Structure 1
């Protein structure tokens, strides 16, 4: 009886702890601390699975929340993991919204065939009840149709991208303003918790001649950048006024009744007579903001009369919709309650869906935006709605490679040059969200592009070489991109080149001779594979497990002695000559013994031999500063199994008695 009572009490206590953990996870989730919430949900789900107690309403709720925590943080691998368990285990009890999210997660991990099936299931369940249904039922446009869209874009990952979020580009004169989570001054203290990155600020990038890359210059404005998020901005046609997105922060961070801090739109003006990015003033909150919903992602028409933005304000069709207001001048008598602006107008069901429409960009030709409410390739896709007779045409998916299985958004374009920028968190990027430049081919003109990839190996041994710096140049010698070979010696450039185009690849790695090769891309879309062979600068230089060493004959010492014998000096002179040939070479010397004798004795003997070797090389005219260290390791780094009390031949013991000359730099 006592045991039973104890077990019951233990179960009650365990249940209480579990309930508290779930409540904490829910609080984190509701305040958008998705990453922390996901960890707690997973812990609870793992407990349920270990106890084999799944199947109740609480289990289903946890599966939904775990999937959502990853889905809203765009971690589609983990979202798919939990949604798959939800749908496969509780199909009849799963409502249509989770079928929709499951289909998007499938797209996000590249399972398009399965996603197609579940999109049809979503449409079947919600027919005539959810206006996403006709957009996703695939009786007209199908996923296969989108995959078959002729590629019109070539993309390049720009140089300013980091391992954090970099997105929201916008043209400003001959520069580009963008948002980044890189903030070294606050890195340790200011982290936004839904994906554990530093807070976003806006920065200035200098565009190169081809407008295909940019170089970081400075912060956009120290007055506009605060200790919380600033991102996505738009400029008036005369570029004297800027609209930007910021947390609901004006000295104090404000939250709604649920504890959510929303986004707001602000404007600022360039100081009169100034032309500096640092002289923005008169920061104002726009009058249609609210503490109870978000407003952000501005875009301005070319005539400066219309301001487009994204919001989840009352009257929204979906998660977030695109709205527009008229920008009224001071002479306009119809200023209404929104001083300086008309009342916000929803762009309607022709553009907006029950999903998310975000990041609008308007030109005289079209409205571009990102959405997950239309049939797409996964996550947010970029859509184009052409403007005909002042009306927006049916939005069209822009296809791959502009769109991918994850989120693609923040599209801006120079319509005349057919060049622009887009953002994506696709797996081939440098970090979370990355900015990509693109070239767009006119519609109807078949684009032909080539991806450049290959591998680097040793010319003699054939062994693949990691850590080789690779440089891609165009036919005019302009550097396009650089990368580094992976552990298997492979490399791939993000930059795509036109078909039948000349380019050059150069290599660089310490200890190896440089290599360059002129290549012509293939004549039809695909991949141009360029393998290259390298050789070390000298036959004495070898690479072992990624470490460059000078390989000479065995350095023999007399028993229990450390002085340099004549036969040893012959070998050491090879190192002297090599170091004279390469005056920037710096080495370190490591000496090792076999396992015979005591550890202390071997350590002392090897150290004396290493230093004796160093002294000899210096005596032959090599500067002491070029030998970083000379150290003995005794028997601590044996290269075979000849440890203490193991019977080995003299030949096998000799393998452990070695001196190594490691190249630090050249």
Structure 2
């Protein structure tokens, strides 16, 4: 990413480097003239100087221009010549150059070394430790994107696209109107200006139209823009420049965010006026790469201002109107790392951004994070081919069509940073499953099952006669969801579920405990005035036997009940005889007698309805009271 403005944010690292002793090379390096500095450092090495500062600087001069193979050459010598002395930061840069060469096997080894060397001093150590997610996991992600290199790309830098009406605004070093050749010392390329392109009907390509605005473009850098929802305000990134460049005490010219207002001319063209730098800019730090929320109330941006976690962080402010903003708020450690987080793009549900602090395929990768009320979920790498072994960044998308644009300096491009159109083939899953009784393992019909994402209900279903449920809503692959099942007379139960990484179905099951602590059976029928076990009763009792064998520590009590259609004392004796017969049958099927703590008949003393003596009831109403119940006293944990 040779000409990308984000590299200007590295000044915090640069100013603490020690001098190498070579005045010419160090002077070029301190001016960020990395192309020329690299040549001088290599000459010094050829003359036999293999000191640690020289090897660091030689590698850095290429690393900061994302020439990973050349940087790898000198970092390799650095870690081999000074294995104990080299810092964790340089191990990190070395492993990134290995990824830049797509040597992921060796990179994984050095990721572990980096994690050990950095210990808890750097949150990137945890991200690169390979304990929760590995580089193989990212390489194995299903491909979701189809990319196409745009016609407007040149041999230099073209990046930072943003939607504007039915057009695309982007930054480029090629001035198609004026062909200016002023070069930037960092990489010996022209400065960046904003230009306008026309998007074709399929949104797969862009043709050049014109310079975006003469009032915004200057002879220095302009890039990284965002518009208010009504497109009457633009926010853009520029060098700290007012008639001349302004520098801090270290001689660094930082970036600032500016705004401008649209004025509609009589011919319907737009002139951008009233250019202002935003109040949270500073002379000693950089601010840039804006993104405005869809409701126009929040402005996200990148900075290394005080309060940053790493080299560059993503911040947010409230847009209060009349040129006023709230104090900047860091998005926190769920998003920001000790590395670089760049190029935020906010939609109604997701934040997209580029990072080298979260585990990726090399240099900057694009990540997405779902959010709700400014609580951001753990970012997810979007995988290849969107991400590559080099820098991938500045992702913007129309969530409805899943078409958008992304930037990369991958080798297959036309030049340095190129803009690519993409269409995301969205991976969708459906969750299906079954609700079971924890005791019997049998399916439960008419259970309610709810699907949650981030503690919000997004779908619900009811189990059929086979205990099966099916959520109709298609959901995103690879996400973590929660299901909650409930049913009358059962205790509700919830279960976390990780959806598969490819389109299709994710199946699961969830068990419910009986809230009454009873084993459910059908009606156990006895012949009139009899207590012997009939064949149909044995079928139901065998369910109890089956459950008790599955749960060998289960202890039960047997309770038998009658209806009121006989003498009270007679019913009491009859139910007691039936309880004893029920116990004897269960024991005869191999259940230890001591696991049945009691077998008692209660006659008509515990009716389930109002069908008492002399109360007219139907046969079906009386049958409800003719029952045997199996009360669980203790069960397996």
Q: Tell me the TM-score normalized by structure 2.
A: 0.63
1:174 is matched with which residue: 157, 166, 176? Answer: 166
Superposed CA deviations along residues 388-425 of structure 1, whole A, max 9, x for unmatched, are 35421100000000000000000000000010000000
Name the SS for the 2:311 alignment partner.
coil
Aligned pairs for 1:59-70 within 5 A: 59-70=51-62
Q: Which moved more, 1:135-144 or 1:23-32?
A: 23-32
Whole-angstrom distance in 1 between the partners of 2:23 and 2:326: 43
- 1:23 is displaced (CA, Å) by 2.2
* 2:87 is aligned with 1:95: yes
Gap regions ≥5 residues in structure 1: 1-18, 331-338, 447-666
2:413 is matched with which residue: 418, 429, 453? Answer: 429
Aligned pairs for 1:53-132 within 5 A: 54=50, 59-132=51-124
2:336 is matched with which residue: 352, 361, 384? Answer: 352
Residue 22 of structure 2: aligned partner: 22
Whole-angstrom distance in 2 between the partners of 1:365 and 1:441: 18
Residue 439 of structure 1: aligned partner: 423
Residue 583 of structure 2: aligned partner: none
Residue 233 of structure 2: aligned partner: 241
Aligned length: 414
- 1:340 is displaced (CA, Å) by 0.3
Distance change (3 Å), C-alpha of 1:93 and 1:32: same
* 2:250 is aligned with 1:266: no
Name the SS for the 2:223 alignment partner.
strand
- 1:45 is displaced (CA, Å) by 1.2
Superposed CA deviations along residues 614-634 of structure 1, whole A, max 9, x for unmatched, are xxxxxxxxxxxxxxxxxxxxx
Distance change (3 Å), C-alpha of 1:20 and 1:351: closer
Whole-angstrom distance in 2 between the partners of 1:107 and 1:193: 27
The answer (yes or no) to whether the contact 1:365–1:386 under 8 Å persists in 2 is yes
Superposed CA deviations along residues 343-388 of structure 1, whole A, max 9, x for unmatched, are 1111111100000000000000200000000111001000000123
Distance change (3 Å), C-alpha of 1:274 and 1:326: farther
- 1:313 is displaced (CA, Å) by 0.8
Name the SS for the 1:177 alignment partner.
strand
The answer (yes or no) to whether the contact 2:354–2:366 under 8 Å persists in 1 is yes
Whole-angstrom distance in 1 between the partners of 2:403 and 2:82: 47
Whole-angstrom distance in 1 between the partners of 2:237 and 2:269: 17
1:326 is matched with which residue: 314, 318, 322? Answer: 318
Name the SS for the 2:314 alignment partner.
strand
Superposed CA deviations along residues 159-194 of structure 1, whole A, max 9, x for unmatched, are 100001000000001000000000267766510111
Aligned pairs for 1:23-422 within 5 A: 23-48=23-48, 54=50, 59-183=51-175, 189-272=181-264, 278-330=270-322, 340-388=324-372, 390-422=374-406
- 1:21 is displaced (CA, Å) by 7.5
Superposed CA deviations along residues 53-72 of structure 1, whole A, max 9, x for unmatched, are x4xxxx11110011111111
Distance change (3 Å), C-alpha of 1:275 and 1:242: farther
The answer (yes or no) to whether the contact 1:325–1:342 under 8 Å persists in 2 is yes
Whole-angstrom distance in 1 between the partners of 2:212 and 2:429: 38
The answer (yes or no) to whether the contact 2:264–2:271 under 8 Å persists in 1 is no
- 1:250 is displaced (CA, Å) by 1.3
Name the SS for the 2:73 alignment partner.
helix
Whole-angstrom distance in 2 between the partners of 1:277 and 1:245: 23
Name the SS for the 1:167 alignment partner.
strand
Whole-angstrom distance in 2 between the partners of 1:111 and 1:160: 32
Residue 599 of structure 2: aligned partner: none
Whole-angstrom distance in 2 between the partners of 1:47 and 1:188: 39
- 1:236 is displaced (CA, Å) by 0.3
Whole-angstrom distance in 2 between the partners of 1:293 and 1:194: 18
- 1:28 is displaced (CA, Å) by 2.1
The answer (yes or no) to whether the contact 2:56–2:74 under 8 Å persists in 1 is yes
Whole-angstrom distance in 2 between the partners of 1:79 and 1:313: 28
The answer (yes or no) to whether the contact 1:220–1:278 under 8 Å persists in 2 is no
The answer (yes or no) to whether the contact 1:30–1:260 under 8 Å persists in 2 is no
The answer (yes or no) to whether the contact 1:127–1:133 under 8 Å persists in 2 is yes
- What is the root-mean-square deviation in Å for CA atoms of aligned residues? 2.0
Could you list the structure 1 runs, at least 4 aligned residues long, displaced by more than 3 angstroms after superposition.
184-189, 272-278
Whole-angstrom distance in 1 between the partners of 2:422 and 2:384: 12
Q: Tell me the TM-score normalized by structure 1.
A: 0.60
Gap regions ≥5 residues in structure 2: 1-18, 431-637
Superposed CA deviations along residues 427-484 of structure 1, whole A, max 9, x for unmatched, are 00000000000000112379xxxxxxxxxxxxxxxxxxxxxxxxxxxxxxxxxxxxxx
- 1:31 is displaced (CA, Å) by 2.5
Name the SS for the 1:48 alignment partner.
coil
Give the number of the structure whose alpha-carbon radius of gyration is greater.
Answer: 2
Whole-angstrom distance in 2 between the partners of 1:347 and 1:122: 25
Aligned pairs for 1:456-605 within 5 A: none
